[in-house]
Amino acid sequence: MKFTAIAAAALIQLVNAASLVEVLTTAKESTLLSLVGTEPEILKALATFKGTVFAPTDAALAATVAAGFNATDLAALANVLSYHIAPGAGFSGANFTGAAFLTTSQGNEVKAFGSAEGVQIQSGFGTPLANVVSTLPFDGGFVHIVDQTLIPPANIVEVAKAAGLNSLLSALTSAGLAETVSKLSGVTILAPTDAAFAAVADVVKTLTPDQLKTVLLSHVVPGTVHSIDIVAAKSLPSVATSAAGSNLKVSYDGTDVLISGGANTTPAKVAIADVFADKVLVHVIDAVLIPDFKAIAAAPVSATAAKTATATATAVASATPKSGAMQIVGAASALVASFLLL
Ligand SMILES: *[C@@H]1O[C@H](CO)[C@@H](O)[C@H](O)[C@H]1NC(C)=O
Ligand SMILES: *[C@@H]1O[C@H](CO)[C@@H](O)[C@H](O)[C@H]1NC(C)=O
């Protein structure tokens, strides 16, 4: 159990040293308190850190290791630790209702939900929601103690498999887009369920390979469009339809978010919003989006369009300033691992 306390300490050491003592004293985390200052370089590096830190409880970290996480793999550990640090304006969580997205040093987002019951944190698909069990403010922001380790999202293909989006995966393979999609970054994918594909199976059978590509690329939107932004949007430019000057149409009926391609008779409803895959945001929808092929014929698209969108999105992502927090995550990981070996 000792090393898990150390893991939390490594995370908490990412905060301002002066405040840290107060924070840990308040939390009565005596194991952590005894470790304050053991890594002066880490403390120095992040003396000016501003933002939000999520610190899993000892029990949460122990459960993660028990579930098979190889904590001696320093790269994997650094990846997980950096997913717990969100530089920027600190997220207090106080009296928070609704949803907020925080970009972590790992590069992916977490989603915070607030309700009367408190704040929960959603991480990679398949990871249980974490409850914020206590919040410790410090000079530069907030440490939230969470009862689950936050696990970074897996690749979109793995997420689609885990989410049972089998028809989508096989359609992507048929259209020769599986490889392209597995490398997408900085995009939003509207992912129809298997039932949605089954409902249009007769139509899909009649499509040429290029038409199938167009249908599938109608489901890819450049940029990260969160549920809360979709509700506000009236239209979304998909990779396939925007080239033809015809965007996806979006509406909100007070209950559901409805999305339509150019030729849907009944719009698709968003069934599961904000599913995190690695650098890809997924919204599961209950119908396949059918584009207006006549409009698109004037501006045909191909996988090249998707590649261009990806390149643009990746360029935007890599232009985002890197946080100084990342520099010390390696050191924090080594600290955690050294105690693992005791
Ligand atoms: C855990 O990670 C270490 C370091 O990368 C590696 O040497 C070891 O084989 C891994 N253990 C397992 C069970 O995969
Ligand atoms: C949260 O709500 C309580 C009760 O309404 C109030 O006293 C408190 O000031 C609020 N806290 C913040 C940070 O807004």
Atom number of ligand 2 nearest to Cα 92: 13
pLDDT band at 338 (very low <50, low <70, confident <90, very high): very low
Q: Which residues contact 108 (CB under 8 A, 6 or more apart)?
A: 83, 124, 152, 153, 276, 278, 279
Each residue of 290-305: pLDDT tens digit? 888 776 665 544 445 5
- Give residue ranges with CB within 6 A of ligand 1: 70, 72-73
Answer yes or no: is pLDDT of 158 > 60. Answer: yes
Instruction: State which of 69, 72, 80 you would mutate to test the pocket of ligand 1, scoring each by most atoms of that ligand within 8 A of its C-beta.
Output: 72
Instruction: Return the amino acid letter for 321.
Output: P
CA distances from 207 to 167, 190, 200, 240 (A): 15, 20, 11, 15
Please report the pLDDT score of residue 195 as a whole number. Answer: 96
Ligand 1: residue whose CA is nearest its atom 12: 70
Ligand 2 centre from 13 Cα, in Å? 28
Closest CA to 197 of 179, 217, 215, 223: 215
Which residue type is seen at 229?
D
pLDDT of residue 46: 57
- Nearest ligand for residue 94 CA: 2
Nearest alpha carbon, ligand 2 atom 1? 95
pLDDT digits (tens, 9 = 90+) for 201-224: 998 888 888 888 889 989 999 899
| Residue 106 to residue 63: CA distance in whole angstroms | 21
Helix axes 166-174, 209-217, angle to 10 degrees: 130
Of 284 and 4, more confident: 284
Mutate to test the pocket of ligand 1, among 73, 77, 341 (most ligand atoms within 8 A of CB): 73
- Is the model's pLDDT at 14 over the cut of 90? no
User: Which domains are present in the chain?
Assistant: 20-146 (2.30.180.10), 156-298 (2.30.180.10)
Assess contact for 12 and 25: CB atoms under 8 A. Answer: no
Lowest-pLDDT range of 19-33, 97-111, 178-192, 268-282? 19-33
Q: Which of 141-155, 188-202, 236-250, 303-317 has the lowest mean pLDDT?
A: 303-317
> Does the pTM exceed 0.75?
yes
